[in-house]
Amino acid sequence: MNTIATPEPPTLLYKYVSIAGLRRILQGPIRFTQPSAFNDPFELLPEIITPLDEQERHINLSFDIRAVRQLPPGEPTSPIPDGCGTSDAMSRDIVQQLNQKIGILSLSRERDSILMWSHYADQYAGAVVAFDASHEFLADQVEVEYRVTRPRRHVNSYLCGTPVPISELCAKSVHWSYEREVRVVRLLSECTKSEGADSRGYPIFVRPIPLEAIKSVILGERTPVGQQREIFGRIMETNITLSLAAVDHSGFAFREERIKFGVPISKMSPMVSARTAHIFCELSGTLGDLSRWMIAHHPSSKVVNLPT
Backbone angles phi, psi at 227, to 5 degrees: -75, -30
Quick one: 181 and 79 in the same domain?
A: yes
Check if the beta carbon of residue 205 is closer than 8 Å to that of residue 191: yes
- Residue where a domain stops, chosen among 161, 189, 211: 211
Query: What integer pLDDT is reported at residue 111 of this predicted model?
Result: 93
Check if the beta carbon of residue 42 is closer than 8 Å to that of residue 172: yes
Q: Who has greater pLDDT, 51 or 268?
A: 268
End-to-end CA distance of the chain: 56
Kindly report, residue by residue over 67-124, the tens digit of the pLDDT.
887 665 555 566 788 888 888 888 888 889 899 999 999 999 999 999 999 999 999 9
Which of the residue ranges 78-87, 116-125, 194-203, 260-269 would you say has the lowest mean pLDDT?
78-87
Check if the beta carbon of residue 281 is closer than 8 Å to that of residue 288: yes
Quick one: 277 and 194 in the same domain?
A: no
What whole-number distance in Å separates Cα of residue 167 and Cα of residue 169?
5
Check if the beta carbon of residue 37 is closer than 8 Å to that of residue 200: yes
Query: What integer pLDDT is reported at residue 6 of this predicted model?
Result: 47
Q: Tell me which residue range forms the domain holding 97.
A: 12-211
Quick one: 17 and 137 in the same domain?
A: yes
- 7 found inside a domain: no
Quick one: 104 and 183 in the same domain?
A: yes
What whole-number distance in Å separates Cα of residue 183 and Cα of residue 16?
14
- 260 found inside a domain: no
- 70 found inside a domain: yes
Q: Encode burial over 89-122: b for 16+ CB neighbours within 10 A, e otherwise.
A: ebbebbbeebbeebbbbbbbebbebeebbeebbb
Dihedral sign for Cα atoms in the order 177, 180, 186, 192: negative
What whole-number distance in Å separates Cα of residue 214 and Cα of residue 72?
32
Q: Who has greater pLDDT, 156 or 113?
A: 113
29 forms bridges with which residues in the sheet?
Answer: 208
Quick one: 195 and 279 in the same domain?
A: no
Cα R_g (the chain), whole angstroms: 23
DSSP H helices in 1-77: 19-27
- 137 found inside a domain: yes
Quick one: 34 and 140 in the same domain?
A: yes
Tell me what the mean pLDDT of segment 134-152 comes to: 92
Quick one: 125 and 32 in the same domain?
A: yes
- 249 found inside a domain: no
What percentage of the chain exceeds 90 in pLDDT? 59
- 241 found inside a domain: no
Which of the residue ranges 101-105, 119-123, 155-159, 226-230 would you say has the lowest mean pLDDT?
155-159
Q: Who has greater pLDDT, 196 or 306?
A: 196
Query: What integer pLDDT is reported at residue 39 of this predicted model?
Result: 92
Quick one: 116 and 32 in the same domain?
A: yes
Query: What integer pLDDT is reported at residue 152 of this predicted model?
Result: 82
- 22 found inside a domain: yes
Q: Indicate the number of domains in the chain.
A: 2
Kindly report, residue by residue over 44-67, the tens digit of the pLDDT.
988 888 888 877 777 777 788 888
Burial of 83 (0-12, 13-18, 19+ CB in 10 A): exposed
